[in-house]
Structure 1
C-alpha cells in the first residue's frame, strides 16, 4: 500500500503535461494488454495492423521519443507490462515515423523464449538489446 501512496505523491508532483502523457500511455498500454489477452494473436495482429496503417512521413524528435519511452516504462511497472506490450505501445505512438521497426524475436536455447523491441534506424528505443540468438519472427515497419 505504501508503494501506491508513493506513486500517487510522485504523480501529484508532476506537471499537467506529464500527467496527461502518463494517463494517455496507461490507456494505450491497458488496451494493448487487453487485446493480447482477449484476442488470438492473429486477430490482434490484424486489428493492430489497421491501427498502424497511416502515412509514414514524420521524423519524430529524439526528445519526444525519450518522453514516450519514459512514460511507458513508468506506467509498465504498476501494470506489470512486459516487453511485448511496451514495444507495441511505443510502435503505436510512433506509427507515423518512417524509421520505426517493431521486432518480435524468438530463441530456443534450453527453453523457448520471445522478446520484443522497437528500433529506429538500427538503434533500440525500448526492449533492451537482445542477444544475437533471438531470430526475428515478426518485423513491423
Structure 2
C-alpha cells in the first residue's frame, strides 16, 4: 500500500476532531510556507510570535499531541511543495501553542566533515516529538523558541 493508500485508510479511521486537526495542519503549513517565502525572517518571526502568544494554558493528552504531529507530518508530505523541518516545527508549535512545556528548537549538526546543516525540531518536556534524527547525528542547540 502506497503513501496515499495509507493516508486514506488512516483518514477513514479518524474522528471528526482528528480530521479537523489534519485540515488545520494543512492550512497552517500553507500559511507558514507563504510567510517564510514572502517575508523577511525577522518580520515573520515577530508575526509568528504575536499569533502564537497566549496566556491560556491547556492540558493536551499525549494522544492529541501524537495526532497533531502525525497530521503536520502527513500534510507536509502530501502537499505539492517541499516542507522541510522548519515549517513543520512551526506548524506543530502553532497548533499546540497552549501546551506550556512545548519548545521549538533550532540547532546545527556537529560534524566537521560536513557542510553547515541546520535543523528545527519540537520538544515536549525535553523529549523530541517532531523532527527526530538518527542517533548517529548530533545537533548543537542554538536557539529555543518558547
In the superposition, the TM-score normalised over structure 2's length comes to: 0.81
Distance 2:62 2:17 in 1: 18
Q: Is the 8 A contact 1:59 1:99 kept in 2?
A: no
- Structure 1 runs (4+) deviating above 4 angstroms are 6-12
Distance 1:93 1:70 in 2: 12
In the superposition, the TM-score normalised over structure 1's length comes to: 0.84
Deviates more, 1:116-125 or 1:127-136: 127-136
Distance 1:3 1:65 in 2: 22
1:50 is the counterpart of 2:50: yes
1:27-46 alignment, distance < 5 Å: 27-46=27-46
Q: Is the 8 A contact 1:56 1:98 kept in 2?
A: no
1:125 is the counterpart of 2:129: yes
The aligned counterpart of 1:103 is 105
For structure 2, the 5+ residue unaligned runs are: none
Deviates more, 1:125-134 or 1:73-82: 125-134
Distance 1:70 1:49 in 2: 23
Distance 1:100 1:8 in 2: 27
Distance 1:12 1:85 in 2: 22
For structure 1, the 5+ residue unaligned runs are: none
* Residues 107-139 of structure 1 deviation map (CA, whole Å, 9 limit, x = unaligned): 363211010100011111100047674222221
The aligned counterpart of 1:84 is 86
Residues 56 and 118 (structure 1), Cα distance of their counterparts in 2 relative to 1, 3 Å cut: farther
The aligned counterpart of 2:63 is 63
